[in-house]
Structure 1
Amino acid sequence: MAPTRPTAATGLRTLLRAAPRTIRPPFLARTASPQLPAQRWHSSVNPDEVSHFNALASEWWDPHGSSRLLHLMNPLRHDFINACLASQPEARPPSLTYLDIGCGGGIFAESAARLPSTSSVTAIDPTPSVLAIAKAHAKKDPMLASKLSYQQKSIEELPIPEKGYDVVSVFEVIEHIDQPAAFLDKVKPFVRPGGWLVMSTIARTWMSWLTTNLVAEDLLRIVPPGTHDWNKYINEHELRRYFAGKGWHSPRVMGVVYIPGVGWREVKGSEKVGNYFFAVRRDAEES
């Protein structure tokens, strides 16, 4: 008799048998989806998340350390922003202002500040040890002093500027927020009318649990265990539904996949199963 060919299901069962006995897929428990409708609001800062990222601060700028996947993803962040701006070339300012929310150690903020098309980058994060790493690294390059500003603040503590920012980035942040709808409501006033809100996050599927939680964190340890909570992942259609009718338009999405030994690559349709970028443009007529 010919041997039975392995399937995705048998592969998943094999991985589960190899994993620690305490690991169980949360999607089997029929957990509720993240609540994007408005909720009672306290703060976007979760003390447990702050503690987790504080512990990783020293490795932030090590391209082979715990933030390796963020270093590899950074070029795609710029590619995605450029695609958003290119879709509305007539509305692109000659120089851009950025607000980077949840900037971490400054991987994106620094790279944005070095662009000749950037006039300023304001980067905020509530995690003190990580922000100290960001500030210390930026001091190594005196050219950044006039364009890059770090502030230890949450979005609730940051004053809303009169004109808003051309690009507000929320990279690898929203899946760490307890109340994403309330958080996004707070973010909107910081985007100037006609400006872009760009973010990256992870779809809530069995495949994303397999790759980001089981394989990346628990088995291969290429991401520190406890970094992600699968129950906080947000699907693309949930974001589209949230932004509809709220003064945003031109939603854009780009699915990306990490290929070991190669890096992150755009894969059309992969936003339905794992990591993806998402952007919306604020209505120009809003004040």
Structure 2
Amino acid sequence: MSLSFKLLKPTNVLSQLGVFSRFAVRMQTRCKSTDASEDEVKHFQELAPTWWDTDGSQRILHKMNLARLDFVQRTLRSQVKIQDPDVFVPGYNYKEFLPEYVSENIQREVQDSLETSLGERPEMRVLDVGCGGGILSESLARLKWVKNVQGIDLTRECIMVAKEHAKKDPIIEGKVNYECKALEDVTGQFDIITCMEMLEHVDVPSEILRHCWARLNPDKGILFLSTINRDFISWFTTIFMGENVLKVVPKGTHHLGKYINAKEIIAWFNENYSGQFRLLDLKGTMYLPLQGWVEHDCSNIGNYFMAIQRLQ
């Protein structure tokens, strides 16, 4: 199965809109297989000035960043064993039998021990693909076990915004570097590669995955993905409600034909890298106005987070 073809094969609705034919024309005029379309770049150029306005056009993305960071940190902690013999790790149902304050103390000790263990490991190099104005890049750069973060994006205006905002925090000085470049022009290998809310904005997502994989540390590097399933619920929540009714997302941000089902990504990895990867975690996530972004186990509908580890 070819991911790039399967994801771009037009449905009846997409055929009427001529999406597939426009894609073919664009590909003839572009030299980078990981480029975004001119329409996508223009859209994000317009959003760049308000990228760090938490009450502006990117406010939902700022809220989502909290959930993304939780997912990343939880996944990394799951790969670490607690070495301290004095730290008690209870069973999963311990909260049902212990007072709340005892449960909280246990959880705090466990998390502190995991943080210490992560901090004792070699510092990690991170590549943030499609970094935009740097919301996730900055958050990752503040983690003490991260050596440096390289953020790349094809929208020059977003990179300029990211560079300016990074100057406001001395903690990340020298830890984050932004460049306006295509993924295939990036050299070196990374322990963590993040590709968050990005795959649904490119024409050939399989090329993004392929180039990410080639740059991932073969010694258990982890690729973090966040994108959207292609289904009615996704259209209803992100496009109809998010863009047109509630107007909490800038209009034109999403296109149903570019959404990617989680099972399609897994199938693509099975076809191209069978035996070379492990799916560490896959969670659905949804936005609740009074709570923000919350995770759930229905990863085949709406938005989802995915963590894939390279084994060789």
TM-score (norm 1): 0.81
Does 1:268 find its partner at 2:297? yes
More helix by share: 2
Separation in 2 of the partners of 1:96 and 1:65? 32
Unaligned segments of structure 2, at least 5 residues = 1-9, 21-26, 82-116
- Which residue of structure 2 aligns with residue 58 of structure 1? 49
**Residue among 165, 170, 185 paired with 1:142:** 170
Deviates more, 1:94-103 or 1:169-178: 94-103
Separation in 2 of the partners of 1:29 and 1:75? 35
What amino acid is the match of 2:238? T
Change (3 A) 1:86 1:141: closer
What is the CA deviation profile of residues 28-79 of structure 1, one whole-angstrom value per residue up to 9, with x for unaligned ones?
Answer: 7376xx9xxxx99842222211110000111100001111111101121122
Give the C-alpha shift of residue 82 in structure 1. Answer: 2.0
Does 1:242 find its partner at 2:268? yes
Where 1:278 maps in the other structure, the secondary structure is: strand
- Which residue of structure 2 aligns with residue 278 of structure 1? 306
Separation in 2 of the partners of 1:180 and 1:253? 18
- Which residue of structure 2 aligns with residue 171 of structure 1? 196
**How many corresponding residue pairs?**
250
- Which residue of structure 1 aligns with residue 34 of structure 2? 44
Contact 1:27 1:206 in 2 (8 A): no
**Residue among 72, 85, 88 paired with 2:76:** 85
- Which residue of structure 1 aligns with residue 94 of structure 2? none
Does 1:132 find its partner at 2:122? no
Give the C-alpha shift of residue 155 in structure 1. Answer: 0.2
Does 1:216 find its partner at 2:249? no
What amino acid is the match of 2:127? L
Deviates more, 1:239-248 or 1:274-283: 239-248
Contact 2:75 2:280 in 1 (8 A): no
Where 2:248 maps in the other structure, the secondary structure is: coil
Where 2:221 maps in the other structure, the secondary structure is: strand
What is the CA deviation profile of residues 230-269 of structure 1, one whole-angstrom value per residue up to 9, with x for unaligned ones?
Answer: 1110111101101115022234211111001221011221
What amino acid is the match of 1:29? V
Separation in 1 of the partners of 2:291 and 2:211? 37
Where 1:226 maps in the other structure, the secondary structure is: coil
Contact 2:127 2:194 in 1 (8 A): yes
Give the C-alpha shift of residue 87 in structure 1. Answer: 3.0
What amino acid is the match of 1:256? T
Separation in 2 of the partners of 1:175 and 1:223? 15
Unaligned segments of structure 1, at least 5 residues = 1-25
TM-score (norm 2): 0.75
What amino acid is the match of 1:63? T
What is the CA deviation profile of residues 10-38 of structure 1, one whole-angstrom value per residue up to 9, with x for unaligned ones?
Answer: xxxxxxxxxxxxxxxx977376xx9xxxx
- Which residue of structure 1 aligns with residue 63 of structure 2? 72
Separation in 2 of the partners of 1:55 and 1:84? 34
Contact 1:255 1:267 in 2 (8 A): yes
Separation in 1 of the partners of 2:310 and 2:278? 6
- Which residue of structure 1 aligns with residue 228 of structure 2? 202
- Which residue of structure 1 aligns with residue 287 of structure 2? 258
Cα-Cα RMSD: 2.3
**Residue among 7, 13, 31 paired with 1:29:** 13
What amino acid is the match of 1:146? G
Separation in 1 of the partners of 2:280 and 2:266? 7
Contact 1:240 1:251 in 2 (8 A): no
